[in-house]
Amino acid sequence: MKGRSVLDNMREICLALPDTRETLTWGQPHFRVGEKIFAGCGDEKGRPVIGFKLEMDHADAIIQDARFSRAPYVGHKGWVSMDASGVHDWNEVRPLVLESYRLIAPKRTVAKMDGAAPPVAKKIAKKAAKTSRARRP
């Protein structure tokens, strides 16, 4: 992934995930799962930045690293911005984007990615098992 643009690297990571697409939002490329944004690319003070959502504890910890800051307007919800100008290994970014995707994507979509039964199927199976136990003499 060396020598490629920030956007090219983000496309490779984000668009490999189920049910994702790229949109132009607020004049910048963003990545959505369904209708919800889980990552974005942009420019901040002349530097390329990427944004994604993390668990609050993770966001609080990661902003101690100078490459990260709370994202404007939504930082209080766990969104962080990362200065992407110094990214040398995009495999370090991948798990951060994946965490964001898992936080934003519908449970059914995450289950598809994990190869597990969607929550509704689990619920039906659980109900069927409960019903069959109740019918036993």
pLDDT in tens, 40-70: 999 988 999 999 999 999 999 999 999 999 9
Q: For the chain, first and last CA: distance in Å?
A: 63
> Is residue 127 over pLDDT 90?
no
Backbone phi, psi, residue 24, to 5°: -95, 110
Q: Which domains does the chain have, with CATH numbers?
A: 6-105 (3.90.1150.30)
- Predicted model pTM: 0.81
**Residue carrying the six token digits 């994604």:** 52
Query: Contact 86/65 with Cβ under 8 angstroms?
Result: no
Higher-scoring residue by pLDDT: 91, 26? 91
Question: How many C-beta atoms surround the C-beta of residue 33 within 10 A?
Answer: 23
Beta strands in 26-120 (DSSP E): 28-33, 36-44, 47-53, 68-70, 79-83
Given a cut of 80, whether residue 79 has pLDDT beyond it is: yes
